[in-house]
Amino acid sequence: MELRSVEELMDLLHACRGSWDAPGLCGGRVDLHQHALQTAALLRRRRPADKELQLAGLVHAIGPLLRPGDPSAHADCAADAVRSLLGERVARLVRTHHRADPGADDDLLRLRQADEEGRNPGFDAGVLEDWRTVLELVASRNSRLGAVD
């Protein structure tokens, strides 16, 4: 599945509500919708200017909805779904974040750390609608860059 609009992506992220992922290293199970918001919020705090990294955190958890029952394909499915909308960098971060090791680049390590820390049921990370403007900005920038190539 390839997402073609911010609205489609927002709908998919809303659909993550009530879906659960396996526990992370630093926390228990959390619903994928909250996990996406928490991961993005943590990245926003740590790298406020890096919108693409923040959005990688927001969308990295959509894989289970795209390919239920196949955990090994979740990152690839999520990356493929957002590439045309949010760009190659976001897709690359989503695809490889779960394989980040101590030798990985800084962005991957930050995403992996936020992924693990973003599983706290008591952490209020706001609402999805707060991310619409950032999604539209990155999608618009990516669309313009793609048109130039």
pLDDT by position in tens, the chain (length 149): 789 999 999 999 999 888 876 554 444 567 899 999 999 999 999 999 999 999 999 999 999 889 888 888 889 999 999 999 999 999 999 999 877 676 778 999 999 999 989 988 888 899 999 999 999 999 999 987 654 44
For 48, what's the count of Cα atoms within 13 Å in the CB-facing half-sphere?
A: 1
pTM of the model: 0.89
Which pLDDT does position 149 carry in this prediction? 41
Please report whether residue 50 resides in a domain.
Answer: yes
What sign has the CA pseudo-torsion 117, 32, 111, 70? positive
Please report whether residue 64 resides in a domain.
Answer: yes
Distance separating alpha carbons of residues 11 and 113, to the nearest angstrom: 26
Please report whether residue 138 resides in a domain.
Answer: yes
- Nearest 10 degrees: CA dihedral of 116, 96, 6, 136? 90
Which pLDDT does position 26 carry in this prediction? 45
Joined together, the tokens standing for residue 136 give: 């539209």
The whole domain housing 19 covers: 6-148
Which pLDDT does position 28 carry in this prediction? 55
Domain CATH for 107: 1.10.3210.10
Q: Identify the CA nearest to 44 among candidates 54, 35, 59, 36.
A: 54
Please report whether residue 130 resides in a domain.
Answer: yes
How far is Cα of residue 53 from the mean position of the Cα atoms in its chain? 8
DSSP 121-145: TT-----GGGGHHHHHHHHHHHHHH
Which pLDDT does position 119 carry in this prediction? 87
Find out whether 45 and 60 touch, Cβ atoms under 8 Å: no
Please report whether residue 1 resides in a domain.
Answer: no
Please report whether residue 46 resides in a domain.
Answer: yes
Total domains, the chain: 1
Which pLDDT does position 25 carry in this prediction? 45
